[in-house]
Chain A
């Protein structure tokens, strides 16, 4: 019989003088069973409100569960779908001086890249932690990855602020065709995928390919290499203003670089001499394509429902086609679906994990460098994924960096992150620490999971002082349960 590492550990334990007990047999069986796929039977959160807050929002902040319970799921989802009114003052105050987002990219070119990048990451963290428009922030997270831009390529960092304010934020819950159009004109995207140098003669295919593969149709969306080349020709001349004495850093169509010949894209003829209209026609063909509806829907469903989304991708694609890509219309039934309530949980990416930890414990944070360093250790520094596909959403991609999550949990609860603090005694008031923290961090579900409670109370039994409260909070953030949403 092949002996697994864990069996071996136990044998070591036996020969080391400890007892080898029958209680181990379950573990032995599990580990020796040959499997190629990592085991996947994540624990389920049973409380529907906690689940809803984990998906619509970045987890529950103090008071959220009670508020949503009173409001009801439908009203909460509708409120989140229609972000309205001013945001939390604490957020607005903290964003001042951080978001220098209204400034044009080129005016900022005298700034060093690093502080700018820190500001961008800081704004994203602050908004996710404190915004009352949580779904809006979730969708910004989704689209930031869908239309990923690597800050360190070329002038990426300088273009990213306007990418956020002019492209992603205004359309995050709007219409997909508008969002795509904004992205295609975006200086950040034009330069990240090299369309700024795409000109007649030998076209540059980079943007054309990713536009179809990653932004609209999907890799099996029915386009050919020839289509990539034709789309690239249509986009020749779409560039970023860079001429002397002009306001640099904005979209510009350069007629002189445009290939004005006839093209055929996905079977559609694009007549000669179309100029700037050529690529606009391409965008129009793409947003109406059923494979775009399918691809965008599949991705949305994976984000909100995980890897087993039932027939929701098909249903959502139908809504896309009926509404012309109305993101709100696609999201509403999804967010109120039984699959969201009862389906298997979804892995938290490090950003989800970090933000949900801060929210759960009502942290006071500046979202600054120290916190960002933890996010980097966990594998998800914002705006720094180099490839155009965005951070992975597969479970397996993220299970390898748990140690960094544990260290974050310990540092957060022990006040070891600069400019981030907790007030645990306030949070607990005078109730039982373990039970209260379990409820705050893991939701009511923990009450229905006696195994977990038993493990925690057995190990943390009898400790009541403030120091142990920190440790209990740390361990709860470390639990496998808290790594899922």
Chain B
């Protein structure tokens, strides 16, 4: 009952295929052949002789997590050694590690005698101790607007402070200028329905809402009856062929459609639904947990992934204008559990992976009347990976006394976010074109990479 354009499930080519122009057929043949390469000889099609091109890329796989909403760096990486911290935050401040009045579970976890983790970041502590996790404090851009959207756009475009000018994203510029070549349709992915600005202009970037569902679903798909299920799959293949002939145009949608079809082909041999994380890693059942799990699946599937972008909104968003202490612990725990599970799952493969968690700005030093914090300036960055020189908080601490703060009471930015990204691009992604990726900026490296 589920015939799709004359495909009767017999496995015979439907007669209409004859009408597809020859060029199309060549292309379709190519699409099939391409599977062979991705599968590295593991599939039934392995009989077709086709040598895989040599792996040319010796750069890290980059995973960028954007904490949307302006994460409060001062309560995540707590400057407990600064007396002014608790003066600014009498109610919502995180207790110092040595505070004897508060419960141990409510105290900061000391990192270096001056800074401490929010207790909810505990899952990341082992990676800091092992030297895999570096933290950057008082980090940010020179955006003065304190607008989420302005500050995010600026960072994702790789700019300093002037709005406008650059239309493409910094990751897109990295991908187009990186040495070597990688034609995988899964070279850059966003685990989201909406493409982030950092990938704007990337010629091959795909938004994958969910890897599990990334397939064409024809009537009968998932049926318990084997024959019906098979027919649905054949029909999906047929639909794919028709789609590729409809998507030959030159507009933005046609271009994106071709990418989508190529990704469908590449993903066919992965089985993300039945993906089993290694080393007993337990991902949280949250957007970030599911997202990172899928990135791990892509990394292990060796599909040519080079950059993955994820948004971290968390259960409550990072925009904690009110009742911050009711929101931040769950936010921080979600992120920390997700990142820790990911690193654990990757095991030795973490050696060639760099994870950055960043945010558009930090928050006001002083708490407000609703026990929250308003938009501020400097924030924090988390760097996790085998090639990261971790176990250290990188910063030039600007201080929190009234004289040290920038009007109207914000932590000053002393680490330009482009310095950190630039170093990772140069050292871990092996792309020397840092100046072209962050135009108008002379990157100063802080030594965050090993």
Q: Which residues of A contact B201 (CB under 8 A)?
A: 35-38
Q: Which residues of B contact A427 (CB under 8 A)?
A: none
Stretch in contact with the other chain, from B94-102, B247-255, B333-341, B347-355: B247-255
- A403 pairs with B214, CB closer than 8 A: yes
Bound together, the chains give a CA A14 to CA B201 distance in angstroms of 30
Which of chain A's residues 445-485 have a Cβ closer than 8 Å to chain B?
452, 455-456, 458-463, 467-468, 471, 474-475, 478-480, 483-484
* A395: contacting residue among B33, B146, B252, CB under 8 A: B252
**B contact face: mostly helix, strand, loop, or mixed:** loop
- A198 pairs with B370, CB closer than 8 A: yes
* A38: contacting residue among B219, B252, B369, CB under 8 A: B252
Q: Which residues of A contact B25 (CB under 8 A)?
A: 13, 18-19
Q: Which residues of B contact A37 (CB under 8 A)?
A: 167-168, 200-201
- A460 pairs with B5, CB closer than 8 A: yes
Bound together, the chains give a CA A461 to CA B21 distance in angstroms of 13
Q: What sequence of 0s and 1s flags, for each residue 16-29 of chain B, a beta carbon within 8 Å of any chain A beta carbon?
A: 10011111011111
Bound together, the chains give a CA A404 to CA B263 distance in angstroms of 14
Bound together, the chains give a CA A213 to CA B31 distance in angstroms of 47
Q: How far is the CB of A475 from chain B (nearest CB, A)?
A: 6
Stretch in contact with the other chain, from A22-30, A76-84, A309-317, A319-327: A22-30
Bound together, the chains give a CA A8 to CA B304 distance in angstroms of 14
- B29 pairs with A17, CB closer than 8 A: yes
- A19 pairs with B26, CB closer than 8 A: yes
The answer to the question of A444 belonging to the interface, with a C-beta cut-off of 8 Å to chain B, is no
The answer to the question of A377 belonging to the interface, with a C-beta cut-off of 8 Å to chain B, is yes
- A36 pairs with B167, CB closer than 8 A: yes
The answer to the question of A278 belonging to the interface, with a C-beta cut-off of 8 Å to chain B, is no
Q: How far is the CB of A227 from chain B (nearest CB, A)?
A: 11
Nearest-neighbor residue (CB-CB) of A21 within chain B: B23
- B246 pairs with A399, CB closer than 8 A: no
- A204 pairs with B27, CB closer than 8 A: no
Nearest-neighbor residue (CB-CB) of A18 within chain B: B29
Bound together, the chains give a CA A458 to CA B25 distance in angstroms of 13
Q: What sequence of 0s and 1s flags, for each residue 385-408 of chain B, a beta carbon within 8 Å of any chain A beta carbon?
A: 000000000000000000000011
The answer to the question of A71 belonging to the interface, with a C-beta cut-off of 8 Å to chain B, is no
- B50 pairs with A12, CB closer than 8 A: yes
* B321: contacting residue among A10, A204, A219, A461, CB under 8 A: A204
Chain B's interface size range is 35 or more
Q: How far is the CB of B200 from chain A (nearest CB, A)?
A: 6
- B249 pairs with A43, CB closer than 8 A: yes
Bound together, the chains give a CA A41 to CA B250 distance in angstroms of 7
Q: Which residues of A contact B242 (CB under 8 A)?
A: 459-460, 475
Q: What sequence of 0s and 1s flags, for each residue 141-167 of chain A, a beta carbon within 8 Å of any chain B beta carbon?
A: 000000000000100000000000000
- B176 pairs with A206, CB closer than 8 A: no
- B181 pairs with A399, CB closer than 8 A: no
Q: Which residues of A contact B145 (CB under 8 A)?
A: 213, 219
- A14 pairs with B245, CB closer than 8 A: no
Bound together, the chains give a CA A463 to CA B192 distance in angstroms of 38
Bound together, the chains give a CA A225 to CA B15 distance in angstroms of 68
**A387-B148, A403-B214 known; A5 and B184 CB under 8 Å?**
yes
Bound together, the chains give a CA A129 to CA B248 distance in angstroms of 31
Q: Which residues of B contact A202 (CB under 8 A)?
A: 366-369
Bound together, the chains give a CA A36 to CA B203 distance in angstroms of 7
- B246 pairs with A3, CB closer than 8 A: no
- B20 pairs with A458, CB closer than 8 A: yes
* B219: contacting residue among A20, A220, A399, A416, CB under 8 A: A416
Q: How far is the CB of A148 from chain B (nearest CB, A)?
A: 12
Which of chain B's residues 381-432 have a Cβ closer than 8 Å to chain A?
407-408
Q: How far is the CB of B406 from chain A (nearest CB, A)?
A: 10
Bound together, the chains give a CA A407 to CA B374 distance in angstroms of 42
Q: Which residues of B contact A27 (CB under 8 A)?
A: 248
A side interface size, CB within 8 A: 100
- B256 pairs with A387, CB closer than 8 A: no
- B246 pairs with A209, CB closer than 8 A: no
Q: Which residues of A contact B215 (CB under 8 A)?
A: 403
- A402 pairs with B29, CB closer than 8 A: no
Nearest-neighbor residue (CB-CB) of A38 within chain B: B252
The answer to the question of A203 belonging to the interface, with a C-beta cut-off of 8 Å to chain B, is yes
Q: What sequence of 0s and 1s flags, for each residue 386-412 of chain A, a beta carbon within 8 Å of any chain B beta carbon?
A: 111100100111111111101100110
The answer to the question of B206 belonging to the interface, with a C-beta cut-off of 8 Å to chain A, is yes
Q: How far is the CB of A102 from chain B (nearest CB, A)?
A: 30
Interface centre among B260, B375, B407 (most CB of A within 10 A): B260
Bound together, the chains give a CA A467 to CA B7 distance in angstroms of 11
The answer to the question of A201 belonging to the interface, with a C-beta cut-off of 8 Å to chain B, is yes
- B204 pairs with A5, CB closer than 8 A: yes
- A225 pairs with B23, CB closer than 8 A: no
Bound together, the chains give a CA A286 to CA B205 distance in angstroms of 40
Q: Which residues of A contact B251 (CB under 8 A)?
A: 39-43, 480, 484
28 A–B contact pairs at CB < 8 A?
A9-B31, A10-B26, A12-B36, A13-B26, A13-B29, A14-B26, A16-B32, A30-B250, A36-B168, A37-B167, A38-B256, A194-B370, A194-B372, A204-B369, A206-B374, A220-B163, A225-B407, A378-B193, A392-B194, A400-B206, A402-B256, A403-B264, A414-B219, A416-B219, A458-B245, A474-B239, A478-B243, A480-B249
Q: List the 10 closest pairs (A to B, CB-CB), nearest first.
A: A400-B207, A379-B193, A13-B30, A12-B33, A399-B256, A23-B23, A9-B30, A197-B370, A5-B183, A18-B29
Which B residues are within 8 Å of any A CB, using their own CB?
Answer: 3-6, 15-16, 19-23, 25-34, 36-37, 48-50, 68-69, 144-150, 163, 167-168, 172-173, 176, 181, 183-185, 190, 192-195, 200-201, 203-207, 209, 213-219, 239, 241-243, 245-258, 260, 262, 264, 313, 317, 319, 321-322, 366-370, 372, 374-375, 407-408
Starting from the known contacts A20-B26, A402-B253, A463-B16, 17 additional A-B residue pairs (CB-CB under 8 Å) come to A12-B34, A13-B25, A13-B27, A204-B372, A219-B149, A228-B146, A379-B194, A386-B317, A389-B148, A396-B200, A402-B260, A410-B216, A459-B5, A459-B19, A474-B239, A475-B246, A480-B246
